[in-house]
Amino acid sequence: MKYYIIKRLLLTIPMLIGISIIMFVVMHLAPGDPTSMRYGLNPEVSQGARANFNRMYGLDEPLHVQYGMWIKRLLTLDFGRSLIDDRPVIDKVASRLPATVLLQAVSILLIISIAIPLGAAGGLKRGSFFDKVTTVFVFVGYAMPTFWLALILIFIFGFKLGWLPVSGMTPWYADYLPFSAKAGDLAWHLVLPVVTTAFGGLAALSRYSRSSMIEVLREPYILTARAKGLSENRVVFVHALKNALLPIVTILGLTLPALISGSFIFETIFAWPGMGRLGYEAIMNYDYPVIMGVGVMATLLTLLGIFISDVLYAVVDPRIRLGGE
Amino acid sequence: MTSFTLTMKRIIFGIFIIAVMTLTAVFAPLVAPYDPLEMDLSPEGRLKPPSPEHFFGTDNLGRDVFSRMLYGARISLSVGFIAVIISVCIGILLGGLSGYYGGRVDALIMRFVEVMYCFPTFFLIMMVITFLGPSIVNVMVVIGLTSWPGLCRLVRAEFLSLRERDFVSSAKVQGIPDRRIIFRHILPNAMAPVYVSATLSVGAAILVESALSFLGLGVQIPRPSWGNILTAGKNYLDYAWWLTFFPGIAILLTVLSFNLVGEGLRELLDPRLRKRK
C-alpha cells in the first residue's frame, strides 16, 4: 500500500511539469504581452523604460531560459510577483484558495449525498416512474448551460423572492458579527454558487451510479446472495451497493477537472472571491506569473483529487491494493 | 416498452431537433422575418415582448430576437461541428498511432493524453482566446485542439484489440504499408465508439462556446450567437425575460438532442448492451 501511494505521488511530478510547459509555451507564444498591455501606446513610456520593465521580470530572456528560471523559483515555492500590483503570487493565490476549496468541497459533498442514492435507487427500480424521472433529470442536467441556470436562480431567488444573496462570500459587516452568525451568513452565501457548481456533476455521477448498480445486480454473487435466502435489504445494501460504489470512487476523481473548469465561470458570475476569478482577472491583465500560479494550483487540486480517489479505490478494492505490492 | 424502442424514440427525437435546427440555420436568410442586425431604437421598438410580429420579442436595440436566434444557430452549430471534426482528426491519428505501434510511441502519447486530461482545459481555452483575440475561428480551433484526449483513448483501445486479429496479420504479411493498414483496414472497424463520442462532443462544444460567449470571449457583437444574445439579455432579466429565456432553451434543447442521439448510438452499437435487449 505504501509503495502504491509513493508510486502515485511520484507520477504527479512529470504531469505537473508537462502541464506547466504547455501553459508556459501557449502563454508566451500568444500575441500581446504584459508590457504593451500595461503601457500600451502611452508615448510617455520610452522604449528604455519598456525594456527595463521587461528586464525586471525576465521577459527579455529566451523562452526556455524563462521557464528554467520559473521552475528554479518554484522549487523554493516562489511563484514570482504579480505584474499588476507586485504582490507575491503565492500570497494572492493563497488568499483566494480557501474560498475555492470551500465551494468545491461543499459541492462535492452535495453531489455525493444526492447523486449516489438517486442513481442507485434508479438502477434498482429500473423502468419505474422514479427511474424515468431521474433519467430525464440526468439528460437535462447534462445539457444544461450551467451559467444560464445560474442566471435563472439569481433572478428567481435573488431578485424576485429576495431570499438569497447573489454575489460575494462575506458582506462588509461580517467582521462585526459573532462567529455563529458569521458561519450562518457564509452558508447563506454558499447556497446559489454550490447549487450551480454541483448541478452538472450531479447528473454525471447519478448516471454512473445507476449503470453501476444495474451492472452489479447482474453478477452471479447477487444471485448467490438471493439463493442463500438473504433479506432483500441485505442483498441490496450490503452485497450490491458496496460493490456498485467501487467504480464511482474513480468517477468522482474524474469529475474534478470539470468542477475546477466550472469555477472559472461561476466564481465570475457570483463574484466569489476564489481562485477561478483570480485566474480570469489575471488572464484579462496578461499577468503571466499569476496565470501560471493559478494554473499550477488548479492542476494541483485536480491531481490531488485524482490521487485521493485512486488511493480510496485501492483501499476499498483489495485487487488493486495487493496487485501493487 | 422495451429499451430498444425507447432508444430508437430518443434517437429519432434528437435527430428531428438537430435537423430542424440545422435547416433553419442553413436557410436563415430565407426563414428569418427580419434582418438580424437591423435596429429600431424608438422607445416602442425596443424590448418588445413576444408577439405575432416578433415571435421571441425584440432586444434592447430593437432587433428581432427570433431572427437573431436563427443566425445564432449558424454560429453555435458550426462551432460544434468544426470543433468536433478537428478533435476527431487528432484523436484518431494519435489514438491510432498509439494503439497500432504500442511501445514507446504509445507511452509518449498516453502521457500526453494524461496531461491533457488533468489540465484545467477551460482555463487554457480562456487564456488562448483572450490572447489571440476572440473570434469564431479561434473558438472552433481551440475547442477542437483541447477536446480530443477522450476520443484518443477510445480509438487506442479499439486498435489494441484489433491489431491482434488475423486480418491485420494477413495485411502485414502481404506487405501493405502501415499507413494503409491503420487507415483502411483497422480504422473502419474502430469507428463505432468514435461516432458515439463525436456526437456527444458536439453538444459539449456548443456548451463551451456559449460559456465563452457569456464571458465575452466568444463571437463578437453585433454578430449574433446564442451565447452573446443571452449575455446581452442578462442586464434586462427583470423586464425582458425573453432575451435570456429563448437562447438558453435553444442551447439546452440542441445539446440535449446531440446527447440523446449519442447515448442512443452507444446503446445500439455496444454489443454488451445489445445481447441483453
Contact B118 A306 (CB under 8 A): yes
Q: What single-letter amino acid sits at B215?
A: L
Q: For B212-238, what is the mean pLDDT? A: 81
Choose the closest CB to B121 out of A152, A257, A283: A257
Q: What pLDDT does residue B128 have?
A: 86
CA distance A148 to chain B (A): 6
Q: What pLDDT does residue B1 have?
A: 47
Instruction: Report the interhelical angle of B65-101 vs B191-214 (nearest 10°).
Output: 140
Chain B residue with CA closest to A151: the answer is B234
Choose the closest CB to A31 out of B131, B207, B263: B131
C-alpha cell at position B43: 422607445
A-B CB pairs within 8 A amount to: 119
Contact A145 B119 (CB under 8 A): no
Q: Which residues contact B77 (CB under 8 A, 6 or more apart)?
A: B21, B22, B25, B206, B254
Q: What pLDDT does residue B87 have?
A: 95
CATH of the domain at A277: 1.10.3720.10
How many whole angstroms separate alpha carbon B238 and alpha carbon B240? 6
Question: What would the CATH number be for the domain defined by B3-33+53-276?
Answer: 1.10.3720.10
Number of independent structural domains in chain A: 1
- Using the Cβ of B120 and the Cβ atoms of chain A, whether some distance falls under 8 Å is answered with yes
How many whole angstroms separate alpha carbon A46 and alpha carbon A18? 37
Chain B residue with CA closest to A144: the answer is B252
Q: Could you tell me if B78 and B54 are in contact, meaning their C-beta atoms sit under 8 angstroms apart? A: no
Contact B255 A26 (CB under 8 A): no
Domain ranges of chain B: 3-33+53-276
Q: For B175-190, what is the mean pLDDT? A: 89
Choose the closest CB to B122 out of A142, A261, A294: A261
| Res. B84 pLDDT band, cuts 50 70 90 | very high
Mutate to test the interface with A, among B17, B124, B129, B131 (most CBs of A within 10 A): B131
Helix, strand or coil, per DSSP, at residue A253: helix
- Using the Cβ of B79 and the Cβ atoms of chain A, whether some distance falls under 8 Å is answered with no
CA distance B177 to chain A (A): 33
Provide the CA B220 distance to its chain's centre, in angstroms. Answer: 19
Which residue in A156, B238, B219 sits closest to B229, CA to CA? Answer: B219
Residues of chain A with pLDDT under 50: 324-325
- Chain A 63-122, residues with CB within 8 Å of chain B CB atoms: none
Averaged pLDDT of chain A: 80
Q: For B50-66, what is the mean pLDDT? A: 77
* Boundaries of domain holding A170: 2-26+99-324
Contact B120 A298 (CB under 8 A): yes
Contact B127 A291 (CB under 8 A): yes
**The pLDDT of residue B214 is above 80:** yes
The reply to whether A81 falls in a domain is no
- Using the Cβ of B140 and the Cβ atoms of chain A, whether some distance falls under 8 Å is answered with no
- Using the Cβ of B67 and the Cβ atoms of chain A, whether some distance falls under 8 Å is answered with no
Of residues A109 and B220, more confidently modeled: A109
Contact B214 A265 (CB under 8 A): yes
Choose the closest CB to A159 out of B111, B114, B238: B238
Contact B119 A257 (CB under 8 A): yes
Choose the closest CB to A23 out of B124, B132, B210: B124
Contact B120 A148 (CB under 8 A): no
The reply to whether A197 falls in a domain is yes
Residues from chain B that touch A18, judged by Cβ atoms under 8 A, are 111-112, 115
- Using the Cβ of A142 and the Cβ atoms of chain B, whether some distance falls under 8 Å is answered with yes
Q: Which residues contact A205 (CB under 8 A, 6 or more apart)?
A: A111, A112, A115, A116, A119, A248, A251, A252, A255
How many whole angstroms separate alpha carbon B105 and alpha carbon A98? 41
Q: Could you tell me if B147 and B87 are in contact, meaning their C-beta atoms sit under 8 angstroms apart? A: yes
CA distance B214 to chain A (A): 8
- Using the Cβ of A57 and the Cβ atoms of chain B, whether some distance falls under 8 Å is answered with no
Choose the closest CB to A145 out of B111, B127, B248: B248
- Residue A61: how many CB atoms within 10 A of its CB? 14
The reply to whether A74 falls in a domain is no
CA distance B181 to chain A (A): 32
How many whole angstroms separate alpha carbon B16 and alpha carbon A229? 49
Percent of chain B with pLDDT over 70: 95
- Using the Cβ of A18 and the Cβ atoms of chain B, whether some distance falls under 8 Å is answered with yes
The reply to whether A182 falls in a domain is yes
A80-83 LR contacts (CB < 8 Å, sep 24+): A80/A289, A80/A292, A80/A293, A81/A289, A82/A282, A82/A287, A82/A289, A82/A290, A83/A34, A83/A38, A83/A57, A83/A285, A83/A286, A83/A287, A83/A288, A83/A289, A83/A290
pLDDT tens figures, A151-175: 888 888 887 787 777 777 766 666 6
Choose the closest CB to B119 out of A19, A139, A159: A19
Mutate to test the interface with B, among A16, A126, A142 (most CBs of B within 10 A): A142
- Using the Cβ of A137 and the Cβ atoms of chain B, whether some distance falls under 8 Å is answered with no
Averaged pLDDT of chain B: 85
- Using the Cβ of B118 and the Cβ atoms of chain A, whether some distance falls under 8 Å is answered with yes
Q: What pLDDT does residue A248 have?
A: 81
Q: What single-letter amino acid sits at A132?
A: K
Task: List phi, psi (to 5°) of B111.
Answer: -60, -40
**The pLDDT of residue B271 is above 70:** no
Choose the closest CB to B252 out of A31, A143, A261: A143
CA distance A171 to chain B (A): 23
- Using the Cβ of B248 and the Cβ atoms of chain A, whether some distance falls under 8 Å is answered with yes
- Using the Cβ of A261 and the Cβ atoms of chain B, whether some distance falls under 8 Å is answered with yes
